[in-house]
Structure 1
């Protein structure tokens, strides 16, 4: 995902002279092409993420389209006040791009884990919150936020994520979910780079005689309310899938929508996410997912049990 981001932002930078790239002392080689093409529009802000966000806000107030980039906890929790009070309060088009969200940096320990960012960012007024599932959604999301005049948060994985979509997504719209596979018994709503695991869960469910629709909810705020209404009205069970805490994340947003919409009847809601605890074991992302019940086969077994 990060390579796709670097390639796409370089392309957009060539097309749009307002695009400015600010890095929190990472990705220097990653942005070599951007720097070569637009050296005057790349700024390494150092290990000073709060200042980076403030600088980006000032740029946005003066008609530029700044993108900030660093590892997720340092792009979000470290500078939450600046995101809230500088960018969001003034409703200026700063785009915060966070790499290694969820447990992508599982091996580096809780300082580098990011399982609270969706909860934090979606609670801030005026923010768009986007979690692309693969490289094609990353590219489409970048183009889409440039059409908006408000702050946005784009949550990326790291590298090597499976490509789900077959090619570019010309119909991509912020707030409009994408159905990836059709099904009739259960509906799996996935956000971010958990989409491949949701597809594995659907495959495992098919082997058990359960038909599953899989939907990519690349936008956590605003939600695709029409898609949610259809899912809860038309399926026995709806499951949300995210690499984020079950408190405050995508699943919570869906649960809140269900309560607020008055849709008490309909499908049962099952939420997959990380528990209310720091992950302190040693291992990489795949190991962390296995330990937390977030692999495709584990989710399929839990869904089958819920249907029994």
Structure 2
């Protein structure tokens, strides 16, 4: 199951168990949303390809006390609706979760307009908003469960081609913001999303060259800075991807 479907499958379970969650979509579906739309039609609202309206409607519903997910195609919920994100999520601190499909160049076949290479940089200017880029199903499910526990404005971006499980649920500490996969001290590799998968694919090659590396999956910003510094303090080289 890819990270997007892992997330929405977990949301379905939460709603089935009685949680008050609403999904507002900018004309975007997903296989994992088919059952949700069928079983909870009053909890799925399609407002069309109108990302500014997406955040406005979702924020209004969130103000009634519901847990709301605004679901759209990246980069548009950020680039087209940045003013709404800035006012509603940053300044008004509305606990809206913006979930966007596409990270980086994973939809390059659609052209430059569909390659969100600046979305993290833009949202980082809004210090009140968590930024999440999951690298596996467990992290996706953890943030789905967190929507009913933590009332924080959150932006989640999904890579299209991640279908892996690297962690156990007890390894993922959302408030920490990162998880360490390897424990070498020569090189610290700090990355997230699809790049975690790519590092795993060259793991044997790194070992064959006797490169002792520490892979730090920085799945959420901001992170626990002290804990991160402690992890990299003794490493000889630090690489960020």
Aligned partners of 2:197, 2:33: CA distance in 1, in Å? 27
Aligned partners of 1:207, 1:101: CA distance in 2, in Å? 31
**Aligned residue number for residue 152 of structure 2:** 150
**Which consecutive unaligned segments of at least 5 residues does structure 2 have?**
none
How has the CA–CA distance of structure 1 residues 232 and 178 changed in structure 2, closer, same or farther, with 3 Å as cutoff?
Answer: closer
**Aligned residue number for residue 90 of structure 2:** 88
Q: After the TM superposition, which of the residue ranges 210-219 and 168-177 deviates more from structure 2?
A: 168-177
**Which consecutive unaligned segments of at least 5 residues does structure 1 have?**
242-308
1:60 maps to 2:62: yes
Q: Secondary structure at the match of 1:22?
A: strand
Q: Secondary structure at the match of 1:206?
A: helix
Q: Secondary structure at the match of 1:76?
A: helix
**Aligned residue number for residue 9 of structure 1:** 11
**Aligned residue number for residue 165 of structure 1:** 166
**Aligned residue number for residue 110 of structure 2:** 108
Aligned length: 238
Q: Secondary structure at the match of 1:97?
A: strand
TM-score, normalised by the number of residues in structure 1: 0.73
Given that residues 202 and 212 in structure 1 are in contact (C-alpha distance below 8 angstroms), is that contact kept between their aligned partners in structure 2? no
Q: CA deviation at 1:225?
A: 1.2
How has the CA–CA distance of structure 1 residues 194 and 175 changed in structure 2, closer, same or farther, with 3 Å as cutoff?
Answer: farther
Q: CA deviation at 1:17?
A: 3.4
The correspondence for 2:51, drawn from 44, 49, 52, is 49
By relative contact order (CA 8 Å, sep 6+), the higher-ranking structure is 2
1:130 maps to 2:132: yes
Q: CA deviation at 1:88?
A: 2.1
Given that residues 141 and 172 in structure 1 are in contact (C-alpha distance below 8 angstroms), is that contact kept between their aligned partners in structure 2? no
Given that residues 89 and 129 in structure 2 are in contact (C-alpha distance below 8 angstroms), is that contact kept between their aligned partners in structure 1? no
**Aligned residue number for residue 69 of structure 1:** 71
- Cα RMSD of the aligned pairs, angstroms, is 1.7
Given that residues 67 and 96 in structure 1 are in contact (C-alpha distance below 8 angstroms), is that contact kept between their aligned partners in structure 2? yes
Given that residues 69 and 98 in structure 1 are in contact (C-alpha distance below 8 angstroms), is that contact kept between their aligned partners in structure 2? yes
- The structure whose Rg is larger is 1
1:212 maps to 2:210: no
Q: Secondary structure at the match of 1:181?
A: coil
Aligned partners of 1:37, 1:57: CA distance in 2, in Å? 23
Q: CA deviation at 1:47?
A: 0.6
The correspondence for 1:33, drawn from 26, 30, 35, is 35
Q: Secondary structure at the match of 2:240?
A: strand
**Aligned residue number for residue 228 of structure 1:** 228
How has the CA–CA distance of structure 1 residues 28 and 212 changed in structure 2, closer, same or farther, with 3 Å as cutoff?
Answer: closer
**Aligned residue number for residue 186 of structure 2:** 185
Q: Secondary structure at the match of 1:188?
A: strand
**Aligned residue number for residue 251 of structure 1:** none
